[in-house]
Amino acid sequence: MPRPPYRYRPPDPDWMRRQVQRLSWPEALYAAYRDDDVSGLCQYLRSEFELDTEKRGQLAALLERRIQHRPIGRRPGIDVTRASEGQALLEAIARSWLRQMQPANADRVPSGAIRAVVMQVADVLGEEGCWILDVEKAVKSIRRHRVSPRRR
């Protein structure tokens, strides 16, 4: 039995409109994030399409980011823990000891002194029972932010 000849049937215009709307979700969401243009998103939401869980999550994230009111002012900082207090104390004491060395060396920190001083301070604080997590972190922080001159 021979096959019937192929006959092109153009797609239904209503089907084409639904496909275009269905595929327009990523562009509408991107425009809402980028330009605060929510017209495409509103048009999609007013159409007959239902939102799947992924699209609901994306819409919730957009609403949280754009609409949810945040308190005015500075955002809360890092939670202070015993370990972070110990680390800050280690760096502060090491900087003060290094400041005392500067006048004897033309207002410069002697080479190799940062690591040695941080190790000494860590030993002293360790004997007092202070929590110290990372000596290397303290050395890097002091090198990065330098030892400032004595404040008067």
Residue 133 clears pLDDT 80, i.e. is over it: no
Q: Tell me what the mean pLDDT of segment 73-83 comes to.
A: 67
Q: What is the DSSP letter of 86?
A: H
Contacts (Cβ under 8 Å, ≥6 apart) of 148: 95, 99
Greater confidence (145 vs 149) lies with 145
- In angstroms, the CA 90 to CA 117 distance is 10
Residue 112 clears pLDDT 80, i.e. is over it: yes
Confirm if 125 and 132 have CB atoms less than 8 A apart: yes
Residue 75 clears pLDDT 70, i.e. is over it: no
Residue 151 clears pLDDT 60, i.e. is over it: no
**Mean confidence (pLDDT) of the chain:** 79
Residue 80 clears pLDDT 60, i.e. is over it: yes
The dihedral sign for the CA sequence 90, 92, 97, 99: positive
